[in-house]
């Protein structure tokens, strides 16, 4: 990932308060990689053009949109003048787009970002299952490596844990990508790379009968053989990534609980995990490991997609076609409005300050 880390997109949702931890970590990564930064805000307040042509003119709607975008951009510029950005190239972009996760993905594609950084928050379980949260949608759909900032701790030679799973049905090569991404970040930040895997004990169901099917534990020697097989697979991955044995964490138990314990033991600042997009029904009843773990981790999380992942997010935002005074949709009016408000995206390049 280090070779492609030429641009970093920092998605900022709340402009009222500067996200110090997010910006500080973005600055640290950009400085280490020699990358350019872009502070991005997707404008999601009511669109002044929504009432046109019934209540305003195309020209006034465009002026109102531009004024709002300019205020948002100026706020981003205030963030970019912070001392932690000294010596870095920073761009500020505010644009009209919705929903927020799609706006972030589209901006990352357009700017050819090698990393997207976003601040995540604790949420109720119901919000996750209803898929109304930007964090979960980014986990599902963002093709660019996604860093979710969970902790306010600065990166000081952090331990980086790559959570692998060579036994699960997942795209080929994903575990190698996780180790490569984790290794790149560890080198950039002068930290150390660890490898983690958790597995469940072997169980078998009793033969079908009239009653319930109790779970039967297999003999100890079978469990020992299973554990040895798991260890060999993890050792093979770790050897390929030059991870020493002291940094290999293989535990029997639930992934979320064991990973949280490994983070506490190592004082990890970052966990690297893979994620694939699943249907809404599958995620409700099966779940995704990255999503289940996220709520339980107190450190940052880097989500990496498999090679060849294709996001379902359209490359262009859908443009609503306004109604004419007679009530029908008019593509011609939409083109006129778009022409009159071609400054909805505003950017500024701040020169490096030494």
Greatest Cα pair distance in the chain: 79
Residue at 211 is within a domain: no
Instruction: Kindly state whether residues 169 and 279 are assigned to the same domain.
Output: yes
21: pLDDT strictly greater than 70: yes
What's phi and psi for 102, nearest 5 deg?
-70, -40
Helices (H), the chain: 20-33, 58-80, 100-111, 125-129, 134-141, 174-188, 220-240, 255-266, 280-285, 289-294, 331-340
Residue owning tokens 């060999």: 232
Instruction: Kindly state whether residues 161 and 305 are assigned to the same domain.
Output: yes
Instruction: Kindly state whether residues 180 and 321 are assigned to the same domain.
Output: no
Residue at 208 is within a domain: no
Decide if 127 contacts 133 (C-beta within 8 A).
Answer: yes
Residue at 345 is within a domain: yes
CA pair distance 272, 28, nearest whole angstrom:
18
- Return mean pLDDT, the chain: 80
Instruction: Kindly state whether residues 186 and 271 are assigned to the same domain.
Output: yes
Residue at 207 is within a domain: no
What pLDDT, on the 0 to 100 scale, is given for residue 239? 96
CA pair distance 96, 76, nearest whole angstrom:
15
Tens digits of residue pLDDT in 179-191: 999 999 999 999 9
CA pair distance 77, 203, nearest whole angstrom:
57
Query: What is the rounded radius of gyration, in angstroms, for the C-alpha atoms of the chain?
Result: 24
Decide if 39 contacts 92 (C-beta within 8 A).
Answer: yes
Instruction: Kindly state whether residues 100 and 166 are assigned to the same domain.
Output: no
Instruction: Kindly state whether residues 259 and 163 are assigned to the same domain.
Output: yes
Instruction: State the total domains in the chain.
Output: 2
Instruction: Kindly state whether residues 251 and 122 are assigned to the same domain.
Output: no
Instruction: Kindly state whether residues 165 and 114 are assigned to the same domain.
Output: no
Instruction: Kindly state whether residues 118 and 185 are assigned to the same domain.
Output: no
Q: What's the mean pLDDT in 249-253?
A: 93
What's 226's domain CATH number?
3.40.50.12370
What's 338's domain CATH number?
3.40.50.620
- Whole-model pTM above 0.85? no
Range of the domain at 299: 150-202+216-310
Residue at 209 is within a domain: no
Dihedral Cα 162, 166, 171, 176, nearest 10 deg: 40
Instruction: Kindly state whether residues 283 and 340 are assigned to the same domain.
Output: no
CA pair distance 132, 293, nearest whole angstrom:
18
CA pair distance 89, 39, nearest whole angstrom:
11
128: pLDDT strictly greater than 90: no
Residues 6+ apart with CB under 8 A from 354: 86, 87
What pLDDT, on the 0 to 100 scale, is given for residue 326? 41
CA pair distance 118, 210, nearest whole angstrom:
52
Q: Where does residue 254 rank: exposed (0-12), middle (13-18), buried (19+ CB within 10 A)?
A: middle
What pLDDT, on the 0 to 100 scale, is given for residue 338? 46
Decide if 346 contacts 90 (C-beta within 8 A).
Answer: no
Instruction: Kindly state whether residues 132 and 234 are assigned to the same domain.
Output: no
What pLDDT, on the 0 to 100 scale, is given for residue 51? 64
Decide if 21 contacts 79 (C-beta within 8 A).
Answer: no
Residue at 285 is within a domain: yes
Tell me which of 55 and 63 has the higher pLDDT. 63
Residue at 210 is within a domain: no
Tens digits of residue pLDDT in 328-351: 444 444 454 444 333 344 444 444
pLDDT band at residue 273 under the 50/70/90 scheme? very high
Q: What's the mean pLDDT in 108-129?
A: 74
Instruction: Kindly state whether residues 124 and 192 are assigned to the same domain.
Output: no
Measured CA to CA in angstroms, residue 299 lies from 95, 117, 160, 328 at distances of: 30, 14, 10, 52
Decide if 333 contacts 62 (C-beta within 8 A).
Answer: no
Tell me which of 50 and 106 has the higher pLDDT. 106
Q: Closest Cα to residue 188, out of 60, 303, 34? A: 34
Residue at 135 is within a domain: yes
pLDDT > 70: what percent of the chain? 74
pLDDT band at residue 285 under the 50/70/90 scheme? very low
């Amino acid at each position: 990932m280090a070779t492609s880390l030429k641009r970093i997109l920092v998605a900022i949702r709340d402009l009222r308060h500067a996200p110090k931890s997010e910006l500080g970590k973005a600055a640290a990564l950009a400085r280490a990689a020699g990358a350019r930064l872009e502070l991005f805000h997707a404008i999601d307040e009511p669109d002044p053009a929504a009432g046109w042509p019934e209540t305003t003119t195309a020209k006034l709607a465009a002026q109102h949109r531009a004024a709002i975008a300019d205020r948002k951009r100026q706020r981003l510029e205030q963030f970019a003048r912070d001392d932690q950005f000294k010596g870095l190239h920073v761009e500020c972009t505010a644009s009209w787009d919705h929903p927020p996760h799609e706006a972030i993905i589209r901006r990352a594609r357009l700017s050819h970002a090698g990393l997207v950084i976003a601040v995540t928050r604790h949420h109720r379980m119901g919000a996750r299952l209803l898929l109304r949260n930007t964090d979960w949608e980014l986990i599902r759909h963002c093709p660019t490596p996604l860093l979710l900032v969970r902790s306010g701790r600065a990166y000081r030679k952090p331990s980086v844990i790559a959570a692998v799973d060579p036994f699960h049905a997942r795209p080929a090569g994903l575990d190698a990508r996780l180790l490569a991404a984790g290794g790149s970040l560890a080198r950039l930040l002068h930290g150390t790379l660890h490898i983690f895997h958790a597995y469940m004990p072997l169980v078998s169901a009793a033969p079908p009968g009239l009653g319930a099917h109790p779970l039967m534990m297999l003999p100890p020697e079978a469990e020992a053989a299973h554990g040895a097989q798991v260890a060999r697979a993890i050792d093979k991955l770790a050897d390929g990534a030059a991870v020493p044995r002291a940094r290999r964490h293989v535990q029997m138990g639930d992934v979320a609980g064991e990973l949280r314990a490994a983070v506490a033991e190592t004082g990890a600042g970052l966990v690297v995990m893979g994620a694939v997009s699943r249907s809404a029904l599958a995620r409700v009843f099966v779940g995704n490991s990255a999503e289940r773990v996220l709520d339980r981790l107190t450190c940052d999380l880097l989500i990496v997609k498999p090679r060849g992942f294709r996001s379902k997010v359209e490359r262009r935002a859908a443009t609503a076609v306004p109604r004419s005074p007679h009530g029908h949709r008019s593509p011609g009016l939409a083109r006129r409005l778009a022409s009159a408000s071609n400054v909805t995206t505003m950017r500024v390049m701040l020169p490096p300050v030494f």
